[in-house]
Amino acid sequence: MLRVPPLTLRLPSGGASDDDCMQKRLSRAFFGRSVLEVAPDLIGTTLLFRGVGGRIVEVEAYHHTDPAAHSFHGPTERSAVMFGPPGYVYVYRSYGIHWCLNFVCEPEGSASAVLLRAIEPTNGLAAMRRRRSTTEERLLCAGPGRLCEALGITRKQNGLALDAAPFALFARRGKVEIVAGPRIGITKAVGKPWRYGLKDSPFLSKKFSPAA
DNA sequence: TGCCCGATTAACT
DNA sequence: GTTAATCGGGCAA
């Protein structure tokens, strides 16, 4: 279990100003690091898409050397964004049914990304309930497919930048306690503890096993 | 070209 | 516990 200090993360900016350029540089610096550093640093930050979203409570890291990563076998039409610069979103179709949202990390060409697995809903609850056809708050964004459905994210957002509208990312305020464990739903590279979550959050897609 | 499987979810028994 | 929904990619033929 890790204790992590508040992030120095750029805040979203309204327009194309000098301030906006500065924000973009900070964003690149934040996402341009190792995916294994970025992933836990994202826990506790707030993600909004068109004003709808909340606090990120669960993510998974996918490194390009990892057989479970979509980039492992080289670029394809689907995974092309993963091979681009950091700070952009990679959206893919899962099981032919659901959409899954990723943030591209590491320097361009590394083809590594963080999968967004769960969010604690804080903004736009009504829109999320409508899209998800449920009123149960705990299940609105608990899982990569549910999260995209609640926020209204589809293939249309593939390749968009994270540091500009309609996306917004806000730094966490206080300290957060982060837990790590094996990733969910994969059959390759099963042992890697590259799933990160906010300790004891009720909004996780699945509980983390107690530390051995 | 065809077949199988997957970074999933909801609705079953 | 099991299964159906359904599509992009890897790999065999």
CA-to-C1' span, A156 to C11 (A): 30
E-only strand ranges, A63-154: 89-94, 98-105, 112-123
A44-69: pLDDT as tens digits: 999 999 999 999 999 999 999 999 99
Strand C bases contacted by the protein (CB, 7 Å): 5-11
- Please report, rounded to whole angstroms, the spatial distance between the CA atom of protein residue A6 and the C1' atom of nucleotide B5: 41
Contact A129, A149 (CB under 8 A): no
pTM comes to 0.93
Predicted confidence (pLDDT) per residue in A82-121, tens digit: 999 999 999 999 999 999 999 999 999 999 999 999 999 9
Sequence-separated (6 or more) residues with CB below 8 Å from residue A17: none
